Structure 1
Amino acid sequence: MTRQHGTLYLVPAPLDFGCETQAPVEDVVPLGTLRVAAGLTHWICENAKTARAYLKRIEAVAPLAAPLQAQQFQELPREVHKKGDHAGQFDAKPMLAPALAGHDMGLMSEAGMPAVADPGSSVVKAAHELGLAVAPLSGPVSLLLALAASGLNGQNFAFVGYLPQDAEERTRRIRELEALALRSGQTQLFIETPYRNAVLMQALTQTLQHNTRLAVARGLTLPSASVRCQTVKAWRGQPTAEQERLPAVFAIGR
């Protein structure tokens, strides 16, 4: 690698994407990260409109190197959003042409750290293959925040993505993950689209054994954030619809 090449910065975004309320960006993203992001003009993102909205929030804290209308955005293909790019089937090298030409670039997802429970790993892989420097910036990562606040095993854990939407397949998967968690002590973390949170919660409380511990972290970093971890038996006696449309991370363990 030579210095004439740019660096790929992984820029975390606030976790309030799609939420009715938003926390001040400087309260949830370190100032150093905001300043680096403000200095970038070339971006790879999930959605250009969302990326511009985040940069507008950053602009209120740190001056942008170029006006919003002059920022250069490349959107990851729709199939990457739908199927993910963690399997390495998408070649992102062409998107990194500006970095090869000497421009620092930012990789941004709609919420949290890109390439962690979000698209972007193909871009990072391509950067390594092209000999570009990759620099992750500090910021909110919902999985780690939820794990730390759960009281479950933080020394041995796995993120398993989304559970199946089909009811029978979902039940089977829940039982597989529970068996693994109870046998090995490995915490199992997963997520769901916010409007399906209530359905998933019902499936979990109906399927899991009563002594299994279930953690639910909703609306992390928002004023309305809540994290609760208790046995499934305790969950069964409580309503589950509260804040059902907030982004949530679920975890099971012992």
Structure 2
Amino acid sequence: MEATTTPGTLYLVPAPLDFGCDDSTDLQASLPLGTLQTAASLRHWVCENAKSARAYLKRIHEITPLCCSIQDMQLVELPREVHKKGDHHGNFDARGLLQPALDGYAMGLISEAGMPAVADPGSSVVRAAHDLGIRVAPLVGPVSLLLALAASGLNGQSFAFVGYLPQDPSERATRIRELEALALRSGQTQLFIETPYRNQAMLQSLLQTLQHNTRLAIGSGLTLPRAQLVSDSIKGWKKKTSPLNNSTPAVFVIGR
């Protein structure tokens, strides 16, 4: 009889929302010790960015010792096209990245911030793990979308995340109107995200396009000392001096 190897587990390891690289923040303020200990036990990784992954692992080591030196760890980056086009369409075959798990080793999947495969690359790796019979275990940590939704005061019983909106101002305004109409008609809260350097342009487009009574919440840097979360009607927003942080990604939430 041939010897068999039980596949190792693929752990989905959340990263702090400071992109893992801000030594001034306390990891244990947003990540439980159990998550950090599991991460410290892994030497095989699939990551979005090896440099930020190493910086994060270095910070973990200050709390709980790593199983080996960072130099001895195997970190494999997802291909660039996965970052640019996303891997949720099923076009990228990630099975080749999971050979250590098939050989019986536990593995970690990590993105630059938050939970991998949620508004970040990684779903192709998770899908491949399921197809290969590899156990998938998500660990506890910050997920900016749910944090922003919970703190928005908007409907958390029915909601949708729609990713990024178009960059072209005209197309973006059209998409905003579509999402607002859906939110007002159905009560379904709509969430989307934006990169830091386009935060202000997104806010201005929302203020110019949405109706006065539509609710808008914006969250950035949640769980961090510089966290911001403001929720108000568009009429109320127009009276504010914009508190929007242009140094971190933002989650935008609209509804009634």
Q: Identify whether the pair has TM-score above 0.5, normalized to the shorter chain.
A: yes
1:11 and 1:37 in contact (8 A); partners too: yes
Aligned to 2:173: 171
More deviation, 229-238/152-161: 229-238
Deviation at 1:233, TM superposition (A): 0.8
User: Aligned with 2:171: secondary structure?
Assistant: helix
Partner Cα distance (1:145, 1:43) in 2: 26
Matches of residues 180-199 of structure 1 in structure 2 within 5 Å?
Answer: 180-199=182-201
> What letter matches 1:197 in structure 2?
N
2:76 alignment partner, one of 74, 77, 82: 74
Q: Deviations over 1:146-172 (max 9, x none)?
A: 000001000000000000001111000
Taking every aligned residue pair, what percent have the same amino acid on both sides?
Answer: 68
Aligned to 2:102: 100
Partner Cα distance (2:26, 2:5) in 1: 35
In structure 2, do the counterparts of structure 1 residues 37 and 76 end up closer, same or farther at CA, with 3 Å as the change threshold? same
Aligned to 2:56: 54
Partner Cα distance (2:229, 2:165) in 1: 20
Partner Cα distance (1:117, 1:96) in 2: 22
1:197 and 1:245 in contact (8 A); partners too: no
Partner Cα distance (2:21, 2:174) in 1: 31
Aligned to 1:210: 212
Deviation at 1:245, TM superposition (A): 2.2
> What letter matches 1:170 in structure 2?
R
In structure 2, do the counterparts of structure 1 residues 203 and 219 end up closer, same or farther at CA, with 3 Å as the change threshold? same
**Structural RMSD (CA):** 1.4
Instruction: Kindly indicate whether residue 14 of structure 2 is the aligned counterpart of residue 9 of structure 1.
Output: no
Deviation at 1:241, TM superposition (A): 5.6
Aligned to 1:158: 160
Matches of residues 73-152 of structure 1 in structure 2 within 5 Å?
Answer: 73-152=75-154
Q: Deviations over 1:40-98 (max 9, x none)?
A: 00000011111000000100011000101001000000011111111111000000011
Deviation at 1:20, TM superposition (A): 6.5
2:227 alignment partner, one of 210, 225, 228: 225
1:178 and 1:208 in contact (8 A); partners too: yes
Q: Deviations over 1:8-28 (max 9, x none)?
A: 000000001288674211111
Q: How many residues align?
A: 253
> What letter matches 1:237 in structure 2?
K
Partner Cα distance (1:234, 1:240) in 2: 11
In structure 2, do the counterparts of structure 1 residues 32 and 190 end up closer, same or farther at CA, with 3 Å as the change threshold? same
> What letter matches 1:80 in structure 2?
V
Partner Cα distance (2:190, 2:41) in 1: 38
> What letter matches 1:234 in structure 2?
G
What TM-score does the superposition give when structure 1 sets the normalisation length?
A: 0.97
Q: Deviations over 1:119-148 (max 9, x none)?
A: 000000000000000000000000000000
Deviation at 1:226, TM superposition (A): 1.7
> What letter matches 2:146 in structure 1?
L
Partner Cα distance (2:73, 2:36) in 1: 16
Partner Cα distance (1:121, 1:190) in 2: 18
Aligned to 2:248: 246
